[in-house]
């Protein structure tokens, strides 16, 4: 049985390489903070295996998470210029390869899809080849490795390439994003904490007081718009989902109005994604790209995405109301 632990260790080693590169960047006056940030992050990914297996205590991991959060929040990472290929080399490679440049990027979701659908049903000795709950994640990791090999083969005739260059370029990109790289994981955890704290139930009580008892449309409208609004506030649909589903999605739409849970919850997540397009809290989607592309207006992506988000939300409301019940 293949588990996803190898992927976590791979991420840990990658972040460890980031720490090594950060420590060598003498142009960064805060390289000590950057080294500690990436180093603790890498150690945390590897150490968590021993915590799950109950070989080691969990408190050092919690302490590392707090330190990583403090380093990111205090701006202790600084910025550095990690050299990889030159602009001229990248432009030359892009000109020679054309649309073939997209092949590695497309391979990642394709391999993940194959693992989640086909490989997930493969059994060896009566046991599933991939551990329960990990086919998609394992496929994602396998897709990255396959895409890396394909990219090296494709780029070799066009310019300098190799695993070392890929590692440096990945590290350069990760260090450019900095602490924002961790926002999706942190905000998703925030959603779980809200759910454990009973925020969803309290929100449900408030909505029950203002929601017409027999109005299906009002319930659908409140759930969909609530998912979008909570996502805008929290910055991530995964954080808003447990709150709104515990408040309206399950008790009202599924239990009271006997809706199709698969369709309703899937569309609910899509409503949350509409909110993602409209919020600076989703920094890794809306702010980091603007910084990397050196856009004059850092909120430009959000302004351009708002009309699309509104259209998606309206369509999702209609689809849920017509086909969800």
Alpha carbons 46 and 41: distance in angstroms, whole number: 9
Name residues whose C-beta falls within 8 Å of residue 240's C-beta, 6 or more positions apart in sequence. Answer: 191, 226, 227, 230, 231, 233, 234, 272, 275
Rounded Cα distance, 119 and 106, in Å = 19
pLDDT digits (tens, 9 = 90+) for 228-240: 988 888 777 777 8
Q: What is the pLDDT of residue 260?
A: 92
CA atoms of 119 and 128, how far apart (whole Å) = 9
Predicted TM-score (pTM) of this structure: 0.71
Residue-averaged pLDDT of the chain: 82
Residues 6+ apart with CB under 8 A from 25: 31, 34, 80, 81, 82
Distance CA 312, CA 304 (A): 14
pLDDT of residue 78: 75
- Phi, psi for 101 (deg, rounded to 5): -60, -25
- In the chain, the N- to C-terminal Cα span, in Å, equals 40
What pLDDT sits at residue 56?
Answer: 86
Question: What's the mean pLDDT in 299-313?
Answer: 90
Please answer whether residues 196 and 297 qualify as being in contact, where contact means their C-beta atoms are separated by less than 8 angstroms. Answer: no
Judge contact between 154 and 100, C-beta under 8 A.
yes
Would you say residue 158 has pLDDT above 80? no
pLDDT band (50, 70, 90) for residue 98 = confident
| 258-285 tens-digit pLDDT | 989 999 999 999 999 999 898 887 766 7
Please state the φ and ψ torsions of residue 37, each to the nearest 5 degrees: -60, -55
C-alpha distances in angstroms, 7 versus 122, 131, 145, 190?
Answer: 20, 13, 10, 23
Say how far apart CA 230 and CA 190 lie, in whole Å.
Answer: 12
- Identify which has the larger pLDDT, 180 or 258: 258
Examine the pLDDT at 317 and tell me if it is beyond 90: yes
Percent of the chain with pLDDT over 90: 16
The string of pLDDT tens digits covering residues 208-220 is 677 777 788 988 9
Rounded Cα distance, 199 and 234, in Å: 13
């Amino acid at each position: 049985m293949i588990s996803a632990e190898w992927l976590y260790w791979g991420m840990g080693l990658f972040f460890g390489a980031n720490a090594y590169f950060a420590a060598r960047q003498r142009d960064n006056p805060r390289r000590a903070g950057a080294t500690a940030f990436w180093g603790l992050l890498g150690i945390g990914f590897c150490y968590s295996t021993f915590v799950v297996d109950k070989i080691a205590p969990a408190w050092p991991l919690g302490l590392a998470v707090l330190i990583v959060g403090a380093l990111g929040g205090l701006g202790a990472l600084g910025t550095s210029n990690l050299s990889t290929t030159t602009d001229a080399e990248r432009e030359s490679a892009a000109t020679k390869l054309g649309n073939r440049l997209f092949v590695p990027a497309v391979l990642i979701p394709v391999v993940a899809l194959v693992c989640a659908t086909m490989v997930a049903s493969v059994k060896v000795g009566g046991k599933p080849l991939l551990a329960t709950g990990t086919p998609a994640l394992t496929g994602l990791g396998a897709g990255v490795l396959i895409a890396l090999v394909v990219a090296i083969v494709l780029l070799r005739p066009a310019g300098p390439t190799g695993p070392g260059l890929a590692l440096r370029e990945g590290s350069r990109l990760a260090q450019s994003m900095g602490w924002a790289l961790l926002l999706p994981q942190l905000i998703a955890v925030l959603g779980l904490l809200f759910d454990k704290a009973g925020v969803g139930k309290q929100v449900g009580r408030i909505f029950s007081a203002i929601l017409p008892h027999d109005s299906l449309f009002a319930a659908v409208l409140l759930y969909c718009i609530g998912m979008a609004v909570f996502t805008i506030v929290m910055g991530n649909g995964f954080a808003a989902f447990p709150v709104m589903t515990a408040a309206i999605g399950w008790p009202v739409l599924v239990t009271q109005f006997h809706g199709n849970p698969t369709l309703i919850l899937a569309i609910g997540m899509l409503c949350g994604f509409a909110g993602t397009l409209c919020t600076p809290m989703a920094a890794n989607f809306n702010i980091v790209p603007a910084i990397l592309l050196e856009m004059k207006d850092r909120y430009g992506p959000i302004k351009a995405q708002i009309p699309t988000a509104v259209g998606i939300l309206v369509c999702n409301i209609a689809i849920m109301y017509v086909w969800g019940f």
